[in-house]
Amino acid sequence: MSIMTPKDKAKEICNKFSWEKLEDGYKMFQTFDETKRCALIAVELHLEELSKMKLIFSDRELHYKYWQEVKQEINNL
């Protein structure tokens, strides 16, 4: 299993906040600015939790850096 690039992860998160699955397909249910705001809130919450876990796992720094890059990529969309 390969890890997604921060840019791909940013797009995936935004897509989850943008589209609603319907029986006959998908529909967009908010503006892209709203989507980005929701995605940034989700990533920020994840970063906050990672910062609390510094003693729990050794790769926390790498995960934190990855999610900071995801946040930057969301801002760049």
Q: How far is CA 11 from CA 36, 52, 54, 67, in A?
A: 10, 26, 27, 13
Count CB-CB contacts under 10 A for residue 14: 20
When mean pLDDT is compared across 13-17, 20-24, 71-75, the lowest value belongs to 20-24
Residue range 19-71, pLDDT digits in tens: 777 788 777 778 889 999 999 999 999 999 888 776 566 677 788 899 999 99
